[in-house]
Amino acid sequence: MVDETALFSLTYGLYLIGSKDGDKNVGCVVNTLQQVTNDPLQVSVTLNKENATTAAIQKSGRFTAAVLAETAPMLQIGTFGFYSSKDRDKFENYKTLFDAAEHPYVAEQVVARLSARVVNQLDVGTHIIFVGEVEEAERLLSEKPMTYAYYHEVKGGKTPPKASSYIAQQ
Amino acid sequence: MVDETALFSLTYGLYLIGSKDGDKNVGCVVNTLQQVTNDPLQVSVTLNKENATTAAIQKSGRFTAAVLAETAPMLQIGTFGFYSSKDRDKFENYKTLFDAAEHPYVAEQVVARLSARVVNQLDVGTHIIFVGEVEEAERLLSEKPMTYAYYHEVKGGKTPPKASSYIAQQ
């Protein structure tokens, strides 16, 4: 017996992932960032294979992550979650800074940010788990981080179809 | 520049993982469970290679996960987090049920539980990321899930040294 709604009780944050496709800034929003080891400091992020950001990370071998603050507006989340970087520059309306590898990250309504170099990846079907060694990490704001539960329950946010946790007709 | 404390802003839940080592019930507490795909329904969990639970999952090819409720007492979390299943039966003082594969899960102070069959794994150094296809999933309580932030900030909980997110002298 599998009640898929049991999975709704798993806890996540909300993160803007950034990468570079040639000269183009690409990015998306995910709930799947986590720390996997401390020594060396490594994080994982799980992304849909159809995302433009996934293809960019595979080419550049790097990604950034920005931890959204609870105060982040829905428009900012929606810009990164419900459009494709193929069609628009998602960063253009937000304060964007660049790491040492010239990969972009949003520095607005963001509690902390990190940059990682991909050292491993695992194909899990519709998605890929990227494991990256953290090369830069910085706190930016002392706001509370946005949780996925807060996004759904307080902000009334939806889950995009390409998300790991998407369930049809939810 | 790497400020490891930037990683403290990542959001997690708290989960009891269970498996079977022969006739023995083994388990531990983690913050690293997440859903990675929806079709098929797959979750990942990252465990330290030195955990007795890790060895058991590699032998049996299965694990259970129980989503702790915010009301779970520190003793319950500490029993699973600060001891080894080599030394004691962590389940003995808690209501324990078994899935179809006879793997144990705690059914006390638990919001939901699931059972997964390992279909993939990735060695990330000190830890292993297990990917499992969900074969059972069930809601048990309508309490709020315990977040890792709540465990630290409200309950005053510590991070065990073998956790993915452990940082010395925190």
Average pLDDT over every residue of A55-79: 96
Name the residue with higher pLDDT: B85 or A21.
Answer: A21
Residue A60 covered by a domain: yes
Measured CA to CA, the distance from residue B23 to residue B28 in angstroms comes to 17
Is residue B166 assigned to a domain?
no
Q: What is the mean pLDDT of chain B?
A: 94
Band the pLDDT of B161: cuts 50, 70, 90: confident
CA distance A21 to chain B (A): 24
- By percentage, how much of chain B surpasses pLDDT 70? 98
Distance from CA of A158 to the nearest CA of B (A): 15
The percent of residues in chain B predicted with pLDDT above 90, rounded, is 84
Mean pLDDT value across residues B37-46: 97
Percent residues over pLDDT 90 in chain A: 84
Residue B25 bridge partners (DSSP): B20
Going by C-beta distance under 8 Å and a sequence separation of 6 or more, which residues neighbour residue A6? B67, B112, B113, B114, B137, B138, B139
pLDDT, position A168: 62
**Inside any domain, residue B67:** yes
pLDDT mean across residues, chain A: 94
| Candidate from B9, B42, B112 with C-beta closest to A6 | B112
Closest CA to A14 of A29, A27, A28: A29
pLDDT band at B168 (very low <50, low <70, confident <90, very high): low
Q: Look at residue B118 in the predicted model and tell me its pLDDT.
A: 98
Mean pLDDT of A85-100: 94
pLDDT at position B170 over 60: no
Tell me if A168 is assigned to some domain. Answer: no
Share above pLDDT 70 across residues of chain A, in percent, rounded to a whole number: 98
Q: What is the pLDDT of residue B83?
A: 86
Helix or strand run (H / E) with residue B57: helix B52-60
> Does residue B170 sit within a domain?
no
Query: Could you tell me the residue range of the domain that residue A64 belongs to?
Result: 13-153
Kindly state whether residue B145 falls inside one of the protein's structural domains.
Answer: yes
Residue to substitute from A124, A139, A141, A153, interface B, most B β-carbons within 10 A: A124
Q: Is the pLDDT of residue A148 over 80?
A: yes
Q: How many domains, in total, are found in chain A?
A: 1
Mutation pick from B9, B45, B122, B124 vs chain A, by most beta carbons of A within 10 Å, is B9
- Is B167 part of any domain? no
Residue A87, pLDDT score: 87
Task: Please give the angle made by the CA atoms of A149, A151 and A152, to the nearest 5 degrees.
Answer: 65
d(C-alpha B79, C-alpha B99), whole Å = 22
pTM of the model: 0.96
pLDDT at B86: 87
pLDDT of the residue at B167? 72
Whether B5 has a pLDDT exceeding 70, the answer reads yes
The pLDDT of residue A165 is above 80: yes
Secondary structure tally for chain B: helices H, strands E: 3, 9
- Residues of chain A found within 8 Å of residue B4, distances taken between Cβ atoms: 38, 41, 137
Provide DSSP, B91-152. Answer: TTTS-EEE-TT--EEE-SSEEEEEEEEEEEEEE-SSEEEEEEEEEEEEE---SPBPBHHHHH
Across the interface, do B1 and A114 touch by the CB < 8 Å criterion? no
CATH code of the domain in which B112 resides: 2.30.110.10
> To which residue do tokens 């294979």 refer?
A49
pLDDT digits (tens, 9 = 90+) for B114-125: 999 999 999 999
| Residue A83 lies inside a defined structural domain of this protein | yes
Q: How confident is the model at residue A170 (pLDDT cuts 50, 70, 90)?
A: very low
